[in-house]
Amino acid sequence: MASKAHPSKVTNARKSSEKNKRLSLEDREAMIAEAAYLKAAERHFSGGDCMQDWLDAEREIDSRLSKS
């Protein structure tokens, strides 16, 4: 008779697999920083608000990540 994996072992394996698919906080922050930089570069670093660039970039990156 074949034994089935214990439910907690299956759950732990799924959680481990999900963790590996997630970006680290450092990777996420690097993506946001690059996107914010590109926003400022698009306007030739003139005017604008670096904090707003960061917040807009953060929203965009988080939206992209939630869809993947």
With 0.85 as the threshold, say if the pTM is over it: no
Give the mean pLDDT of 39-64: 96
Token match 């214990």: residue? 6
> What is the radius of gyration, based on Cα positions, of the chain?
19
Which of 12-16, 36-40, 63-67 is predicted most confidently? 36-40
Task: List, for residues 7-28, the tens digit of each pLDDT value.
Answer: 555 455 454 445 546 779 999 9
Angle at 29 between CA 23 and CA 34, to 5 degrees: 115
Distance CA 3, CA 1 (A): 6
**CA-to-CA distance for 54 and 58, rounded, in angstroms?**
6
